[in-house]
Each structure stands twice: as structure tokens, then as C-alpha cells.
Structure 1
Amino acid sequence: MSDPEDRLQYALAELDRHGRVSVQALAEHFQVSRETVRRDLKQLELEGHLRCIYGGGVKPRPNADEPIADRMRLNAREKARIGECAATLLRDNIKIFVDTGTTTLAFAKHLRNWPDITVYTNSLDIVALLADAGHPNLVAVGGDVRASYRAFMGPDPVDLVTRHLFDIAFVGIATVDSRFGFMDLGQDEANIRRALRKHSKQCVMLADSSKFGRQGSICTYEFRDVDILITDAPLKADFAAQMDQAQVKVLYA
């Protein structure tokens, strides 16, 4: 049986050399199960050494959001479960806004089965997904294209949001801090999300567990600004207490 500390140190060394580590390669090197390696990588993620992605881990980028291709692989299974859970909140003949992000994209896949819902989004990927599916009530919220986010940003989407009232806004976030709340790394996405809070009857936050315990650079929402939080794992005690105090309904996918 390999020593856990040896595995962690070896994984960190491989991360320094290559910028990423593979679950399969580590499992073969130490002759342990892939589940054991995943637990090791999750521990390193909680300590801030890496970000878990599908099949392994990559170095974190603390001062910037990862490219969309990398973010698509981060906690892909968890995001799929969150998207499925969020879809249970849907009903016919409502108007919703779906924020840009990989977790909201996982949710948007379920909208192909809801042609009676009017969908507004600033996400290029969600527009492409639903347009390809022939969704009859899709509105692309245009603006300045931000390639790294694959989204329309800037003042135009904010202006459009302020001229509408949405039944539900499904939003994402960069990080969740127990002191500062829901946080972003860029001003553009924070501005859109704040406008959505003011112009939606219900705000639903989709955030996988890797977002918690990390700080961003912009305070976007206080906890009380969110009506429903959907995540994939039980919250730690400090976050659970904050959500309870703020009267946020928490759903676990």
C-alpha cells in the first residue's frame, strides 16, 4: 500500500513539471485505484494546489478565470447533476435568462425539451446549442464579444436586462466566500448578474462545490440576494449557517 503523503508529494512534483496531472497515470504509478487518486487530487484542490478537471488536475489560475475549454472539464459530472436538478424548476410559458458559464451550459441542455419557455442568454455556446436544436423562443442578448468567456458582455446586455422582467434568472459565479458572498473575477459578468437580480422574480445560483472557500476580486451578490442555490455536495458548517441565516433554499444535486 502506497503512503498517502508520498502520493501527494509526487502529484505536486508532476504538477510543477507538466502543469497538469492524470488520474490514470498516477493510479498506474502507485498501483492504486483511480478513486484513491481522485481523493488525493480533491485534497490538493481544497488546499489550493490545483483545480480538478475530468481525468486529472491542472494548476490553478488565482487571478483569472480559466479558458472555456479547461472550465468545461472542471467537475463535469457535478455540473451535469446540477443542471439536471435546475431543470426541475422549469415550467411551461415562463421567460428565463440563462447566464454564461459551463454549469449554466450543462443546465441549458435540458431546455431543448421546453419549447414553450422563452430563453434569453448572453452565452454564445447556449445560443448555438439551442439554435441547433431549433428552439422556437430563443433570444440572443448581444453586445461586445468576450472570447475567453464565449459570451456577449459590456453595457448592451445590461441595458437589455433592465428593460425586461424575467420569471427566473439562472446564474453562475466564479467563487463563493463565507465573508464576502458570491464573487466574480471580472466587472462585466458582475454587472450583468446584478442587473439580473433586480429584474428577475427568482434568482437561482448554480455553483459546484469547487467554487466554495475561494475569493474573487468583485463582490457580486450577498447571500441574501439568491433565492435558490444548487450545488453538488453538502456545504461546510460556515456556509450552511450563512445560507440558513440569509434564507437561501439549498438544493443538492
Structure 2
Amino acid sequence: MSFTEHRLELIRDLLRQMQRVHVKDLVDQFKVSQESIRRDLRELETQGFARRVYGGAVLDRQESDQPFAERLRVGAREKARIGEAAAALVKDGMKIFVDEGTTALACLKHLKTRKDLTIVSNSLAVAAQFYYSATPSVRVLGGRLRPDYQATFGPETAAAMKEHFFDLAIIAISAVHAERGFMDYGEDEAIIRRVARAQAKRSVIVADSSKFGRLGSIHTFGLQDVHAVITGSTLTKDFSDQFLKSNVEIIYA
């Protein structure tokens, strides 16, 4: 086995363990040039094992296919920063919707000190964050339970959401494509996210850098259809130009 092949196998192992690798970290670990690492990542992408993203690569496996506990760990540090930035938009007295997506859930630990706050969600994981807390007020929407998401979906959930109006909707997303907009892999998630956006005075997408450039299977809504996007890495020009043109605020966490 050549040195390059050995390095590729080690990068595969890192991706299996961490779900994501960064060019800088790999350069430091293997003592090779950035161009060598980028060639490695291109090769892994050609093999269908990895998908390159800004600054590195992620395991080429749809996040929706992973168990809920695994999804929480993928990109946890970036999601934590995004969650903190999303929580900063929440003011005392608001009524907000928090999506079941793991990036949206990252905001919850920052909301326990808010006064007179009401959180509405289809996520059981949201409720679990506040089992032993008297505040905020939490309402979980009924519907068909999907254990893989620890959340409710379906017509009953969508109908229940339409009874509420939100000051802010914090919405996760599965994929962001420059031409096809915000996308999901399943119809259930897309429907709930569309209703949340429609019922909110302000809608904010929270998406870690691995979501950008990814192509989902269902169009959820257009890039121009939200008020702000929160992410953890600088966006490429094609995305930033489109958001700027549509007056969508970009917030870097």
C-alpha cells in the first residue's frame, strides 16, 4: 500500500469516527501540503465516500439516515455556536417555534433564563430539555410519532401548528442548494417547516456549513423566503450574493 493509499484509509477512519474532517487538521496530522489533502478529499468524493464542504469534507451519508443520537454529535461545536447565535434573537415575552432539527435544538440551553417565553415544537427532545424547569412554557404538538426523529409529524401536527402564531421560527434544514433553495429529504419535515415559516413574523434558518451545496430530494422553500440564515462558516459567493440580493440577513456564528 502506497503512502497516499494509507493516508486515504486513515482519513476514511476519521470520517467514520467524526463524520467530518478539516483540511487544516489533516495537514497538521499528516505533515503534507494542503493541496495533497485536497486531492485526497477529491478522491474520496469521487469514490462516493465523502462530500467536500467549505474547509474540509463530511461523510457522504444523508443526515436523515442517521440515528438521532448520532445526528446530535455531527458538527457539534459548530451547531453549538449557531444555537447560541439563534438564542440571541429570542427576547423576553416571545412565542417561538423551535424545529426538531439538531442544529435548532442547540439553542435551547441558552433560553432557560428568558422571561415569559413560550416555546412550541413538534420535538420531544425540546420538551426533554425542560423536564425539571418551570420556565419557559413549552407546548409539544401532537401527531404521528417518528422515533428516528424523536418528533411528531403528519396532518395533525400541521393542523395544530396553524393554530399558533410565532414571533420567531427557528428552522433547521437538510440541504441548501444555490439553484433549488432550501431542501429536505422527506416530505414530513418539509411540510412542517413550510407551516412554521408561514406562521412566523420572522423565520430564521439554522444550518451548519455541511448543508450548503448539498442537494435534497424535496424543495421546501426558496432562498429568498426567510428573513435570516445563521451558519458557522463563511458562505461561498454564489450563496452570499443570492442572500444579499433577496435581503436575507446572514449571521455568522
Q: Taking structure 2 as the reference length, what is the TM-score of the superposition? A: 0.82
Residue 9 (structure 1) aligns with: 8
- Counterpart code for 1:33: Q
Identity of aligned residues (%): 41
| In structure 1, distance between residues paired with 2:75 and 2:31 | 14
Q: Does 1:20 align with 2:16?
A: yes
Which SS does the other structure have where 2:107 is aligned?
helix
User: Does the Cα contact within 8 Å between 1:115 and 1:137 map onto a contact in 2?
Assistant: no
Which SS does the other structure have where 1:93 is aligned?
coil
| In structure 1, distance between residues paired with 2:205 and 2:144 | 24
> Structure 1 residues 58, 240: closer, same or farther in 2, change over 3 A?
closer
Unaligned runs of 5+ in 1: 24-29
Which SS does the other structure have where 1:131 is aligned?
coil
1:44-55 correspondence to structure 2 within 5 Å: 44=41, 47=45, 49-50=49-50
Deviations 1:177-221 (A, max 9, x none): 111011001111100111111111000110000000110000001
Deviation at 1:115, TM superposition (A): 3.9
| In structure 2, distance between residues paired with 1:136 and 1:175 | 30
- Counterpart code for 2:41: L
| In structure 1, distance between residues paired with 2:138 and 2:164 | 15
| In structure 2, distance between residues paired with 1:34 and 1:125 | 39
Deviation at 1:69, TM superposition (A): 1.6
User: Does the Cα contact within 8 Å between 2:51 and 2:60 map onto a contact in 1?
Assistant: yes
Residue 23 (structure 2) aligns with: none
- Counterpart code for 1:172: A
RMSD: 3.3
1:29-48 correspondence to structure 2 within 5 Å: 33=29, 44=41, 47=45
| In structure 1, distance between residues paired with 2:228 and 2:235 | 14
> Structure 1 residues 8, 205: closer, same or farther in 2, change over 3 A?
farther
Residue 180 (structure 1) aligns with: 180
Which SS does the other structure have where 1:176 is aligned?
strand
Paired residues, what number?
Answer: 237
- Counterpart code for 1:133: S
1:170-249 correspondence to structure 2 within 5 Å: 170-249=170-249
Q: Taking structure 1 as the reference length, what is the TM-score of the superposition? A: 0.82
| In structure 1, distance between residues paired with 2:231 and 2:77 | 12
Unaligned runs of 5+ in 2: 20-25
> Structure 1 residues 239, 156: closer, same or farther in 2, change over 3 A?
same
| In structure 2, distance between residues paired with 1:22 and 1:217 | 25
Residue 26 (structure 1) aligns with: none
Deviations 1:116-153 (A, max 9, x none): 11110111111110223332411111211101111111
Which SS does the other structure have where 1:85 is aligned?
helix
User: Does the Cα contact within 8 Å between 1:21 and 1:58 map onto a contact in 2?
Assistant: no
Residue 98 (structure 1) aligns with: 98
Deviation at 1:59, TM superposition (A): 4.3
